C-alpha cells in the first residue's frame, strides 16, 4: 500500500513537474523566443487604442479672398434605444419614445414609423442597441437644427431629472457653401460622405482634401489613457486653399440678372460668362437651372440642374459668330466698310441664303450690313472673299472645335464639321449656322482674342494655391495660346462692333447701349434644329460684347435657349440682360461713365456721386508670387497706383499688405527679387507704411512732422541710404509742413 502510494505520488509529481517545465518553456518561447515579437504585438493591440484626427478640406476663395466653400461644423442626430427603453420602464407616463419621435419628425421630416423602428432597434442577441444614427435626415445637419433639438433635450432632462435621455449629437464636419447657389456649377459639391462629386471640388480634390492623422496610446481596462504609456501620433494635414479668378460681386450680378430673365422667359436654359479679355480670368460664369450645393439631394430628380451649359452644351452660335468672320476679313485686308452690296438674298451652289429681313435693306455698305446683322453680307465676306480654306483656318485658330482647357471636369469640344467643298455649308458657317457647333466658353475665348489685341488666351479659374497656414504659395499665370490677328485688326474690329451698339437707329445691338460707356457687341439669333429641320418658332438668342472698347476690362456673353417670347431675338431678349450685367460690373470695377456735357446735369451728378460713394476705397489684393505684369494688372484693376521696386520678374513682397482697405489714391509698392534701384515715391504714405517701406529698402529713415508723407529726400552717405521724410496732417499743405518742420531737429533714424 505504502509502495503504491509512493508510486502514485511520484507519478502525479512527475506530471506536475513536466507541466511546470512545459509552462516555463512556453513562457520563455512567448517572452524571449522567435515568436515573442508577434505575441508582444498582439498584446499591444489589446491595450492600445487609436483615434483618427480629421483634416480640414481646403477653402475655395474668390479673387478678393471671400470664402466660396469651406468646412463647417455639422452634427449627426442619434437615438439610444437602450436608454429610452430603460426610461420608459422607469416611468411610462414620461412617454419618452413618443416625445422623441414627434420632435424628430417635426424638425427633420423623418417618417414616424421609421423613427419608431430606430428607437426599437435590437442587437442579434435580442438586447437593445446603445445608439442608432438617424440617417439620412439627421445626418450632418446644421448647427441651427442641432440647437433646436438640444433645447428639446434640455426639456427632457428637466422632466426626467436625468442627464442621459437617449438623444445624442455626434459632432462632425461638412462642406459648407456660404453663398448658397452662387457659382454652384463652378464650385461643384461634396456629398455627405466627403466625396467630391462635381465642379472644382472634383477637379481639385487631390489639392483640397488633405490627409487625416491619428493618435495611438496605451489604455487601461476602462479605456483611459495610461499616464506613462506609449503614444504615437501622426498630425492631420489640412487641404490647400485655392484662390479663384472669380469676382463674387460680378458673379452675383450675373446670377441675379439671369434669374430675373429665367422667371420672365422660362427658357430651357440661360447662361452667361464674364471674363477679363487680357488674361481670360473668368470673373463670373453661371447657368440656369442650377442647384444649391448645400442641399444637392433636393435636385437629384432633375439632372438638368447639374449640367453646366457654359462648358457642356453646344449651340449654333448664329450672328455672334460673325465676329470671327469679320476679324478674319479685316486681317486679310478684305473688309471695306464703305463697299456696297445688294442685301436680301444671295445664291450659292446648292442653296439660296436670305437675310433675317427677307426683303433686305437694298444696296447697303458692309458696315451697315454688320449693324443690320446681314447674313448676305457675311456670305460675301466668308464664302466669296475669304474662301473656305482661309475661313476654316481662322475658325480653327480662334480655338473652335477643341476644348479650351478650362479647369473644370466635363468640358466638351464642340464641332466644326462643314465641308470646304460644299458651298452651302461654307456659306452658312460664315454667319454661325449649319455645321458649326460651339460652346459658350469657346465663344468668349474667341471674342476675348478680338478684344485684347489678337491673343487667344486659355480661360482660367485658378489664380493661386496656398498652404492652409499661409506658407507656400503657387501662383498660376495667364497663358497665351497663339496670336490670331494683329493688334491693328483688333482695334479696327472693336470700332466696327462699337457701331453695332452705338448706332441707335439701325444697330441691332442698340438695346445694349449704356450712356457714357463704349461698348462693342454683336447679337445672335439662331433657329434650333428640331428633327433635322430648322424650327420656325424655337430659337437660341444671344449677345456678346466687351467694354470699354479702347481698353477692354470685361468680355461678356449671354445666351438664352428657347425663350418663351413672340419677339424672341438677341436684341430684344439677350441684349438687355447683357446691359444690366455689364453696367453693374463696370461700376464695380471703378470704371466711371464718360457722360457728355449735353447730358442732363442732375443725372450726371447723381451717377458720379453714386460711383464716388461706392468706389472711394478698395481692398488691397494679394499679389505676392505673381509676375510683375500680372500683379500690376491686379492692383490697377482696383484703381490703386502701382510702384515697382527692383527689376525682378516676380513680386516677393508688397506694401501695404493684402486685405488692407485703403483710399484709391494710395499707391501699392511691389518689391521684386532683384537689386533695388531708385527710391520710390513715398508721397501719401502713413508713418507706419513709410517705416515699413524703409525697412523693405533696407534704408534708414528720419521723420519730421505727423500725418502723411508730403515730401522726401534720399541721402546716400558711406554706402548707407537714408530717406528724410516730411509729414503733414491730411488737411495741411506740403509747403506749410516743410516750413514748420525745417525748424525742428531730425528725429531718430529708423530702418
614-633 per-residue burial string, b: 16 or more CB within 10 A, e: under 16:
ebeebebbbbbbbbbebbbb
- According to DSSP, residue 240 is labeled P
User: How far is it, in rounded angstroms, from Cα 18 to Cα 9?
Assistant: 14
Structural contact between residues 133 and 167, judged by C-beta atoms closer than 8 angstroms: no
Beta strands in 155-280 (DSSP E): 167-176, 213-218, 231-234, 241-244, 269-276
Most confident of the ranges 26-30, 387-391, 636-640, 721-725: 387-391
Query: How far apart are the C-alpha atoms of 191 and 197, rounded to whole Å?
Result: 7
What residues does 545 pair with on adjacent strands? Answer: 521, 556
Split at pLDDT 50, 70, 90, the class of 48 is low
State mean pLDDT over 544-550.
97
Residue 443 CB partners (closer than 8 Å, separation 6+): 317, 320, 321, 544, 557, 559
Given this model, what pLDDT does residue 603 score?
47
> Whats the size of the chain, residue-wise?
751
- For 170-228, what is each residue's pLDDT tens digit? 888 889 999 999 999 999 999 988 899 999 999 999 999 988 888 777 666 555 666 66
pLDDT classification of 624: cutoffs 50, 70, 90: confident
60-181 CATH pick, 3.30.70.2110, 3.40.50.300, 2.30.30.830, 3.30.70.260: 3.30.70.2110
CA distance 233 to 457: 47
Q: Alpha-carbon torsion 456, 460, 463, 464, what sign?
A: negative
Question: Is 319 an annotated catalytic residue?
Answer: yes
pLDDT at 629: 77
DSSP β-bridge partners for residue 61: 67, 243
pLDDT for residue 703 is more than 80: no
CA atoms within 13 A on the CB side of 2: 0
**What was the pLDDT predicted at 741?**
42
225 vs 49, higher pLDDT? 49
pTM across the whole model: 0.77
Rounded distance between C-alpha atoms, residue 199 and residue 153, angstroms: 39
Per-residue pLDDT at 361 exceeds 80: yes
Task: State the pLDDT at residue 745.
Answer: 40
**pLDDT (mean) for 126-140:** 91
Q: Residue 546's closest CA among 599, 469, 490, 483?
A: 490
Least Cα distance to 375 among 534, 239, 508, 475 occurs for 508
Whole-number pLDDT of residue 688 = 66
pLDDT average, residue stretch 617-631: 77
The span from the CA of 347 to the CA of 134, in Å, is: 71
pLDDT of residue 709: 79
Q: Active-site residue among 287, 319, 466, 571? A: 319
Q: How sure is the predictor about 44, in pLDDT bands with cuts at 50, 70 and 90?
A: low
Confidence of residue 743 (pLDDT cuts 50, 70, 90): very low
Which residue in this structure is represented by grid cell 485686308? 333
Fold of 618-741: Trypsin Inhibitor V; Chain A (3.30.10)
Domain segments of the chain: what residues? 2-33, 60-181, 248-289+312-588, 618-741
Each residue of 60-84: pLDDT tens digit? Answer: 999 998 999 998 888 999 999 999 9
Residue 739 has pLDDT above 70, yes or no: no
Average pLDDT over residues 539-554: 96
What is the per-residue pLDDT for 674? Answer: 54
Q: What is the mean pLDDT of the chain?
A: 86
Q: What is the pLDDT of residues 371-390, one digit of tens each?
A: 999 999 999 999 999 999 99
Q: Is the pLDDT of residue 32 over 60?
A: yes
- pLDDT computed for residue 214 by the predictor: 80
Stretch among 393-407, 481-495, 553-567, 641-655 having the lowest mean pLDDT: 641-655
Which band of pLDDT confidence, cut at 50, 70 and 90, is reported for residue 231?
Answer: confident
Instruction: Kindly give, in sequence order, each residue whose CB lies less than 8 Å from that of residue 331, ignoring residues fewer than 6 positions away.
Output: 394, 485, 486, 489
Whether residue 604 is predicted with pLDDT greater than 60 in this model: the reply is no
The strand pair at 720-728 and 700-704 is best described as parallel
Percent share of the chain, pLDDT over 70: 86
Selection from 176-190, 231-245, 715-729, 731-745 with the highest mean pLDDT: 176-190
Query: If pLDDT is split at 50, 70 and 90, which confidence band does 40 have?
Result: low
Reported confidence tier of residue 610, pLDDT bands at 50, 70, 90? very low
Q: How many Cβ atoms are within 10 Å of 93's Cβ, its own excluded?
A: 6
* 82 or 609, which is more confident: 82
Q: Which CATH number fits domain 248-289+312-588: 3.40.710.10, 3.60.15.10, 3.40.50.720, 3.40.50.670?
A: 3.40.710.10
Amino acid at each position: 500500500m505504502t509502495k503504491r502510494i509512493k508510486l502514485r505520488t511520484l507519478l502525479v509529481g512527475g506530471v506536475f513537474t513536466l507541466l511546470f517545465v512545459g509552462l516555463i518553456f512556453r513562457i520563455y518561447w512567448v517572452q524571449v523566443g522567435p515568436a515573442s515579437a508577434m505575441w508582444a504585438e498582439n498584446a499591444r493591440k489589446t491595450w492600445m487604442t487609436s483615434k483618427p484626427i480629421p483634416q480640414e478640406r481646403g477653402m475655395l476663395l474668390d479673387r478678393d479672398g471671400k470664402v466660396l466653400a469651406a468646412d463647417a461644423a455639422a452634427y449627426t442626430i442619434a437615438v439610444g434605444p437602450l436608454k429610452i427603453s430603460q426610461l420608459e420602464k422607469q416611468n411610462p407616463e414620461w412617454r419618452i419614445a413618443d416625445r422623441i419621435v414627434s420632435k424628430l419628425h417635426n424638425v427633420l421630416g423623418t417618417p414616424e414609423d421609421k423613427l419608431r423602428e430606430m428607437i426599437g432597434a435590437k442587437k442579434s442577441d435580442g438586447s437593445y442597441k446603445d445608439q442608432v444614427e438617424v440617417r439620412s435626415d439627421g445626418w450632418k445637419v446644421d448647427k441651427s437644427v442641432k440647437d433646436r433639438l438640444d433645447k428639446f433635450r434640455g426639456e427632457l432632462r428637466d422632466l426626467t431629472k436625468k442627464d442621459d435621455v437617449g438623444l445624442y449629437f455626434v459632432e462632425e464636419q461638412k462642406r459648407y457653401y456660404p453663398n448658397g447657389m452662387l457659382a454652384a456649377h463652378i464650385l461643384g459639391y461634396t456629398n455627405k460622405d466627403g466625396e467630391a462629386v462635381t465642379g472644382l471640388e472634383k477637379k481639385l480634390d487631390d489639392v483640397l482634401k488633405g490627409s487625416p492623422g491619428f493618435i495611438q496610446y496605451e489604455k487601461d481596462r476602462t479605456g483611459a489613457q495610461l499616464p506613462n504609456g506609449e503614444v504615437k501620433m501622426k498630425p492631420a494635414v489640412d487641404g490647400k486653399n485655392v484662390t479663384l479668378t472669380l469676382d463674387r460681386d460680378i458673379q452675383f450680378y450675373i446670377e441675379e440678372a439671369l434669374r430675373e430673365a429665367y422667371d420672365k422667359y422660362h427658357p430651357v436654359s440661360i447662361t452667361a460668362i464674364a471674363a477679363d479679355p487680357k488674361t481670360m480670368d473668368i470673373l463670373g460664369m453661371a447657368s440656369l437651372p442650377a442647384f444649391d450645393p448645400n442641399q444637392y439631394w433636393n435636385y437629384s430628380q432633375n439632372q438638368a440642374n447639374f449640367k453646366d451649359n457654359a462648358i457642356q452644351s453646344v449651340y449654333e452660335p448664329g450672328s455672334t459668330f460673325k465676329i470671327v468672320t469679320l476679324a478674319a476679313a479685316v486681317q486679310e485686308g478684305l473688309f471695306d466698310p464703305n463697299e456696297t452690296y445688294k442685301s436680301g438674298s444671295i445664291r450659292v451652289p446648292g442653296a439660296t441664303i436670305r437675310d433675317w429681313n427677307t426683303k433686305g435693306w437694298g444696296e447697303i455698305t458692309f458696315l451697315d450690313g454688320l449693324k443690320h446683322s446681314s447674313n448676305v453680307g457675311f456670305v460675301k465676306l466668308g464664302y466669296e472673299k475669304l474662301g473656305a480654306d482661309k475661313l476654316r483656318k481662322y475658325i480653327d485658330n480662334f480655338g473652335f472645335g477643341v476644348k479650351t482647357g478650362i479647369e473644370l471636369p466635363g468640358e466638351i469640344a464642340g464641332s466644326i464639321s462643314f465641308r470646304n467643298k460644299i458651298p452651302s455649308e461654307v456659306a452658312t458657317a460664315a454667319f454661325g449656322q449649319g455645321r458649326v457647333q460651339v460652346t459658350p466658353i469657346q465663344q468668349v475665348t474667341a471674342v476675348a482674342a478680338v478684344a485684347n489685341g489678337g491673343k487667344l488666351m486659355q480661360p482660367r479659374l485658378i489664380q493661386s494655391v496656398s498652404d492652409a497656414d499661409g506658407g507656400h504659395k503657387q501662383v498660376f499665370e495667364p497663358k497665351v495660346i497663339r496670336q490670331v490677328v494683329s493688334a491693328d485688326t483688333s482695334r479696327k474690329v472693336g470700332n466696327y462692333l462699337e457701331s453695332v451698339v452705338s448706332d441707335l437707329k439701325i444697330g441691332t445691338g442698340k438695346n445694349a447701349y449704356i450712356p457714357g460707356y463704349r461698348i462693342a457687341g454683336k447679337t445672335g439669333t439662331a433657329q434650333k434644329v428640331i428633327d433635322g429641320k430648322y424650327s420656325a418658332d424655337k430659337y437660341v438668342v444671344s449677345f456678346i460684347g466687351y467694354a470699354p472698347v479702347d481698353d477692354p476690362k470685361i468680355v461678356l456673353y449671354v445666351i438664352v435657349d428657347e425663350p418663351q417670347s413672340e419677339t424672341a431675338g438677341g436684341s430684344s431678349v439677350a441684349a438687355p440682360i447683357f446691359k444690366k450685367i455689364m453696367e453693374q460690373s463696370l461700376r464695380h470695377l471703378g470704371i466711371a461713365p464718360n457722360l457728355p456735357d449735353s447730358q442732363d446735369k442732375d443725372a450726371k451728378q447723381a451717377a458720379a456721386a453714386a460711383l464716388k460713394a461706392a468706389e472711394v476705397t478698395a481692398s488691397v489684393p494679394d499679389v505676392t508670387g505673381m509676375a510683375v505684369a500680372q500683379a500690376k494688372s491686379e492692383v490697377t484693376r482696383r484703381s490703386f497706383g502701382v510702384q515697382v521696386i527692383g527689376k525682378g520678374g516676380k513680386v516677393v513682397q508688397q506694401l501695404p499688405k493684402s486685405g488692407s482697405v485703403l483710399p484709391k489714391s494710395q499707391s501699392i509698392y511691389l518689391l521684386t527679387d532683384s537689386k533695388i534701384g531708385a527710391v520710390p515715391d513715398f508721397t501719401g504714405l502713413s508713418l507706419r507704411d513709410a517705416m515699413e517701406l524703409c525697412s523693405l529698402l533696407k534704408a534708414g529713415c528720419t521723420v519730421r512732422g505727423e500725418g502723411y508723407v508730403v515730401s522726401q529726400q534720399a541721402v546716400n552717405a558711406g554706402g548707407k541710404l537714408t530717406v528724410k521724410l516730411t509729414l503733414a496732417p491730411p488737411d495741411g499743405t506740403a509747403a506749410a509742413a516743410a516750413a514748420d518742420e525745417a525748424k525742428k531737429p531730425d528725429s531718430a533714424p529708423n530702418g
